[in-house]
Structure 1
Amino acid sequence: MSGDENFGGFDLNAFGDWGACTTFLGATGFGRGEEEEEDLGRYPYNRKETLALYNAWVSISYDPIVENQQTRLCFWEKVTEAYNETKPKGARRRNLKMLCSLFDRCDRDIKKFCAIYGTEVANYQNGASGADILRAALRVFKDDKGKDFKHVDVWSTVKDLERWAGDVPSCTGSNSKHTKHTAGGQYSFSEGGEG
């Protein structure tokens, strides 16, 4: 690893371990996703709102009480309700279309970063620190996508969940069933059906 790696205005070599890196990323605002905006472009989402959306998605997806035979529309209505009930203080209420759009935009990058990170884990020697692997994955993401990865906090929350290990479709198309196939919560989608 070279000695002059700089991403998002900070030196990745300054981190000795994973904890120091994530603490720094949170403290500096790197990964806040300020560029993510709702459909009308008036009220940008911040890091806490994006994280709250993913937490709502996960809580509905992995809730064993919630019926697993539901349409995407029904599922996203529940996610929207959960988000608006738990949104950060001072955050605006968001509707289903806004949240689904944000989720899709962010999820493309998060899934891509998960794949890159997994490859870096497989390629690194035994004894490599989590910070070394994260630095390498951030570098590869930037080289590949031409932009910094802005959702490190969300990724660190969801990276070990099945949805981000496989290839599950996102929320486009409202007439599909959302069916749980495993006890761990992996979902697939099929066309038609009642909600």
Structure 2
Amino acid sequence: MAGDVFASPSTAAVARVCRHADQGGGIILGFGNYAGDVLNFGVAAERLRSEGIDVCILPVTDDVASAPVDSSAKRRGIAGDLVVFKIAGAAAEAGKSLDEVERLARYANDRTFSFGVAFGGCTLPGAAGPLFTVPDGQMALPRHPWGAGCQRGADCDGKRSRKAPHRQASRRTSRRRQQGGRRAERARLDQI
């Protein structure tokens, strides 16, 4: 869909595209699991269902840095979107039913994991400079496509963070919890 980069398409735009794309077999609305997308695609799905169009919603949740293992449904979708959408598209092209395409896409989503890093930011069309910078020889962890997620004591422009000591202690506790979740995730992956 056409629209602003890193912004959810409107409910009207989602519904309009789906109406044009529907050939009677139904629609799968796949998107990265972000609040604006969940809201706009969800409302569009309700509208389309009221018009008699069969619609499935598939938020992709591959980003292991955005939520722990026990809250994987809250994870964001980043690079894993591509894998999940390619599998769903291949199943649809092969003539699978909507239910089977959805099942395969959810299966792929449940087994797709990513962790975003950045060495520099992108420059959007018409912008004077990149969304964020990372000093030479460093990388930002974890990182989302638009620059969210600075870690390791550096702000997005590379300047040292001046957070209060109690916030730093809270971040250390949070990191320990994340590390425990990542260990559990690795153990789960080893079993697959």
How high is the TM-score relative to the length of structure 1?
Answer: 0.23
Whose RCO is larger (CA < 8 A, sep 6+)?
1
Structure whose residues are more often helix by fraction: 1
Normalised TM-score (structure 2): 0.24
